Structure 1
Amino acid sequence: MAYSFTKMHGLGNDFIVIDGMTSPIDLSSDDVSAMCDRHRGIGADGVIIVRPGQGDGFMDYRNADGSLAQMCGNGVRVTAKFLVDRGYLPPGRDSLRIGTRAGLKEVRFETAGGRLSRATVTMGQPILDPAAIPVHAPVDSDHGGVPYVGALMIPTPWCPATVTCVSMGNPHAVWFVDLESMPDELVRGDRLDSLDLSAIGPYLESHTVFPEKANIEFVTVEPDGLHMRVYERGVGETLACGTGACAVLVAAYLTGRTGPSSAVHLPGGTLHIDYREDGVHMTGPASTVFHGTWE
């Protein structure tokens, strides 16, 4: 069977997007893994099947290993662009609603030449209850009467990792790293890009304290905002992670490292994150790379 697809990305976090709006599409986890293989397939961090559903469309997202994902922030912006650029919205609209496994997400967008160029996604309230994240850890911190897991210490073979746990519909563990105190086998230099994620990323992602695994963010606080790298569960290190950027801002705000709004710099580019009374808002671009057919 042949599938038409569009290769798209949000800040380098790339996806194979398949149109399931008018006909049913069913992919196995092996199909997804084969498509995402960067040497023998198309290559991507995940597959999005855009289906009809509550709102203007449903984002059926699978990680590169074929596992289902509840939420993907960059994927929501990409799905919005797909729906807008393909003409699934009436002319004149500047907003839409996208269904995800973590609920409906409101998206406001800007266009250039009739195509979506930039979008702001209302990501909803962060989830801080340890059982709902989920993480096997007690609440240890409080911010304005809001309890959360703010300083969970996880022993590793290299050094202790102290993380703040947040869910944005998927679990995140945010580690504000002190590069100077890390052992030489993990970091060689004073920049976040010198940190070796190849061993400690998988170790933390699959640690027993996270019953459904977790996305692991490595963060430094700089004068121009928050700088992060991410090791995504079921994928590995990616150039960007929208839910991760939201989790990082929430964790930084709760722990007093920044205000409720900040630029979050990722290897693939910059997202702007606002933590407001109605939840977390994420603003960034989405791009189309090419179209093709997978047989």
Structure 2
Amino acid sequence: MSIDFIKLHGLGNDFVVIDGMKGNVDVDPAQVRALCDRHFGIGADGVIVVQPPKNSGSAGYMHYINTDGSLAQMCGNGVRCTAKFLVDEGYVDASQGELTVDTLAGKRPLQFSVDTGKLTEATVNMGEPIFDPELVPVRAPQESVADHAESGTSFVRDLKVQTPWCDVTFTCISMGNPHALWFIDSFEELPDALFNGEKTLENMDIDRIGAYLESHEVFSEKSNIEFVELRDGLLHTRVFERGVGETLACGTGACATGVGGYLTGRVGREVDVVLPGGMLKIEWTEGGAVKMTGPATESYRGTI
């Protein structure tokens, strides 16, 4: 069959976006893997089929499938790209300035900016973080759970996980999908085998490390793995995404990083998270919701 698509990305986290608003478009896992193949296909971190909304008041539904063909509950960069598709293709009036996207993790309201009628940037209400270990989900012993006095939040702060290289301590949060944050305060103390050259975040071999940690037995549904360094007041982060591998940016990962950075006393409620593809502004509001601001960009259109 022939499929028209638009290649969109949020800070380099890229998607093959397909219009399913006017009729059913079904792509199976094998087709998704073929579309996402960067050598033999289009190349992407996932496929988004934009479908009619599931709830009244929403503009559309983001049906997001990971590179490996597995269905994803949530994708922050994907939500912004879905919103861009809906605005740019005329399903939403560009002058509205706001819309709601349905996802498997629930409704995601957002405000957006436009230039010559095209969406350029969006601030998404990503909802409230989930801390209950059973809901993250993560198998966390009680001693790894801590209370944050200021916010009254109980969360998995210090989950110790053994690896072939060293012990890793995770802070675990869900943003509709599970995230395990490894805040690294000293690279020099880590084994040489974790790096390709100088001991820096940029030189960490996270393809190898992330693949091991993603599927660790403590994560019953696997987990996204964040490698985080506080540098000059910013949270520099690399993400190994569950079912994908390392991506240039991860919206839910940036949200989890911002929340985890606040709960562990590293940053305030507002922080810029620097990813290989660029920067996302994250705010954990007093009301409990996390807001994420960042761009959405079209690369090209085609037919495959």
The TM-score with structure 2 as length reference comes to 0.95
Do structure 1's residue 284 and structure 2's residue 294 form an aligned pair? yes
- Partner residue of 1:260? 269
State the 1:91 CA deviation. Answer: 4.7
Distance 1:225 1:293, change over 3 A: same
- Partner residue of 1:114? 117
- How far apart, CA to CA, are the structure 2 residues paired with 1:223 and 1:262? 11
State the 1:293 CA deviation. Answer: 0.9
Question: One-letter code of the match for 1:195?
Answer: M
- Partner residue of 1:181? 189
Q: 2:105 aligns with which of 92, 102, 107?
A: 102
State the 1:247 CA deviation. Answer: 0.4
- How far apart, CA to CA, are the structure 1 residues paired with 2:207 and 2:288? 37
Q: 1:242 aligns with which of 251, 257, 264?
A: 251
What's the CA shift string for 1:84-117, capped at 9, x where partnerless? 0001113520000000000000110000111001
Q: What stretches of structure 1 move > 3 A for 4+ residues in a row?
A: none
- Partner residue of 2:138? 135
Contact 2:87–2:94 under 8 Å retained in 1: no
- How far apart, CA to CA, are the structure 2 residues paired with 1:109 and 1:148? 32
State the 1:224 CA deviation. Answer: 3.9
Gaps of 5+ in 1: none
Alignment of 1:39-78 (within 5 A): 39-53=39-53, 54=55, 55-78=58-81
State the 1:189 CA deviation. Answer: 2.0
Question: One-letter code of the match for 2:212?
Answer: Y
Q: 2:237 aligns with which of 201, 213, 228?
A: 228
Distance 1:63 1:184, change over 3 A: same
- How far apart, CA to CA, are the structure 2 residues paired with 1:226 and 1:38? 29
- How far apart, CA to CA, are the structure 1 residues paired with 2:288 and 2:161? 32
Do structure 1's residue 37 and structure 2's residue 8 form an aligned pair? no
What's the CA shift string for 1:128-162, capped at 9, x where partnerless? 00000100113421113321100001000001110
Distance 1:157 1:91, change over 3 A: closer
Q: 1:202 aligns with which of 208, 211, 226?
A: 211
Distance 1:109 1:179, change over 3 A: same
3-state SS of paired residue (1:17): strand
Contact 2:94–2:114 under 8 Å retained in 1: no
- How far apart, CA to CA, are the structure 1 residues paired with 2:156 and 2:247? 25
- How far apart, CA to CA, are the structure 2 residues paired with 1:4 and 1:201? 33
Contact 1:130–1:138 under 8 Å retained in 2: no
- How far apart, CA to CA, are the structure 2 residues paired with 1:174 and 1:192? 14
Percent sequence identity over matched residues?
55
Q: 1:148 aligns with which of 143, 151, 155?
A: 155
Q: 1:170 aligns with which of 171, 177, 180?
A: 177
- Partner residue of 1:214? 223
Question: One-letter code of the match for 1:293?
Answer: T
3-state SS of paired residue (1:151): strand
- How far apart, CA to CA, are the structure 2 residues paired with 1:279 and 1:75? 18
- Partner residue of 2:27? 27
CA RMSD of aligned residues (A): 0.9
State the 1:243 CA deviation. Answer: 0.2
What's the CA shift string for 1:243-292, capped at 9, x where partnerless? 00000011111111111010000000000000002410000000001111
Distance 1:241 1:91, change over 3 A: closer
- How far apart, CA to CA, are the structure 2 residues paired with 1:214 and 1:81? 27
Gaps of 5+ in 2: none
Contact 1:250–1:275 under 8 Å retained in 2: yes
